[in-house]
Every structure is written in C-alpha cells, then in structure tokens.
Amino acid sequence: MKTIVINSQKGGSGKSMLAKHLSVEAIRAGDGPVFLIDTDTQGTLTTWHSRRESETPALVDVPLAGLARGLELIKDSGAAFCLIDTPSGELEHAEALFKLADFVIFPVQDSDDDLAAAPATVAILRRVGTPFVFVLTKIKPNTLVTAQVAAALSKHGQVATTFVADRTAYKSRYPKGQTITEAEPNGKAAREVAELWDELKSCLHASMNEGESGNMGARKHG
C-alpha cells in the first residue's frame, strides 16, 4: 500500500478537492482498493463522504495518535492506496504525517501568498526525506502568472505538468456525493483529473525506484 498525504499550510489550496477527486479517479482507473483518512477538524472530506452513496472509496476514522497502527490495518485489508487529507497551519501535525507517508502532494495556488507559505513546508519535507510534488490548483489556464509561479516552485522541487484549472464545476454539489469525474466523465475537468492521477502515479513510482537505488547504494558502501 502507498500512503499519500495531501498537505499545504495555506488554506484554500484545494487539499480536500484533490483528495476526493484523485481517490475516485484511482478507483475509476483500476488502481484500487483506495481508502481515505480525514485529519482536518474542519471535516470537508468527511462531509462530502457522508453524502456519497457509493461505498468506494472507503473513509476510515483514525485518530492522529493511532494513525500508524490504523495504516497498518488498512494495508492488511488489501488497500492499494490511502490518501490523507490534512489541515492548514499545523506544521507539527504535518511533520508527523510526512513521516508516515510514501509521497506528498503539495497543492499550491498561483498567488504570492501561496508562494510565500511554501518554503516552511518544503523545509520539513526535506528534513523528513519524504518525496513530494507541487500541484498547481485553481489556476487560470495559459496565463503568465501561472507560468511564473510554476517556475518559482520548480526551484524548490518537482512541479506536476498537469494543472488543475479554476472551474466552477469543482465547487458544484453533485447528487449522491459524486465527483465531477463521475457526474461529467467526458468533460475537461474529468480529463484533467485523469491526467493528473496518471502523472502522480509516475512521480510516485519514480520516487520509490530512486529510494530503492539509494538504499542499495548505501548497503554497497556500508
């Protein structure tokens, strides 16, 4: 099982939106079983899931103190992925989660405020050693500011080439707790999410291979 934490210390970056859409897309792509954990007291992901008629992805209520054991139980149940939604502005909380993660998705809006908030989280990720990728969210396509923000972020780490546009559809409350990818499977947003999930899987696999190569090198030189 691969544990993916979605974190940004800037509020409104799209963490919960990514958690629900990527988890559903993973199932649609045949990459399940997928589980969700909501560690944000605001409970946006939990509220969405309570409206959802589909039994997948499953949402598991796990307290932070018991998260390591909870992840082991989820893994033992046969899960392929577990996506964890997180709160903003709690760096100690984030660090504990990063230590349990195989990979971190770092959503960032194309704004000066988001750029200013990013380095503090990056510093923790570097210290913990968890691989991560920036995902630009709520962007206006083909604008100079988006290109500038992407370039600035690339100095801190990898930036996903698939951007999430600022679409009203992402904010719509679809019946039965559907995501936009289920409600409008042939729309631009659905294609966008599918492309992003494919790219994130590639980033995750690449990071895992690099980690294995590093461990092999350490053994050879140990």
Q: What is the pLDDT of residues 190-202, one digit of tens each?
A: 999 999 999 999 9
* pLDDT band at residue 85 using 50, 70 and 90 as cut-offs: very high
**Count: domains in the chain:** 1
In this predicted structure, the answer to whether residue 215 has a pLDDT above a threshold of 50 is: no
Residue predicted with more confidence, 221 or 31: 31
* pLDDT band at residue 21 using 50, 70 and 90 as cut-offs: very high
Taking CA atoms, 177 is separated from 30, 109, 127, 156, 212, in Å, by 20, 25, 38, 36, 39
Q: Are 13 and 107 in contact (CB under 8 A)?
A: yes
Q: What is the pLDDT of residues 204-213, one digit of tens each?
A: 988 877 765 4
Q: Can you read off the two tokens belonging to residue 87?
A: 């709160």
Q: Which domain holds residue 172?
A: 2-221
* pLDDT band at residue 147 using 50, 70 and 90 as cut-offs: very high
**What three-state secondary structure class fits 165?**
strand
Q: What is the pLDDT of residue 173?
A: 79
Share the mean pLDDT of the chain.
Answer: 90
**Measured between alpha carbons, how far is 83 from 81 in angstroms, rounded to an integer?**
6
* pLDDT band at residue 219 using 50, 70 and 90 as cut-offs: very low
- What mean pLDDT do residues 171-200 have? 91
In this predicted structure, the answer to whether residue 4 has a pLDDT above a threshold of 90 is: yes
**Measured between alpha carbons, how far is 206 from 181 in angstroms, rounded to an integer?**
26
* pLDDT band at residue 222 using 50, 70 and 90 as cut-offs: very low
- What mean pLDDT do residues 71-89 have? 94
In this predicted structure, the answer to whether residue 218 has a pLDDT above a threshold of 70 is: no
CATH of the domain at 114: 3.40.50.300
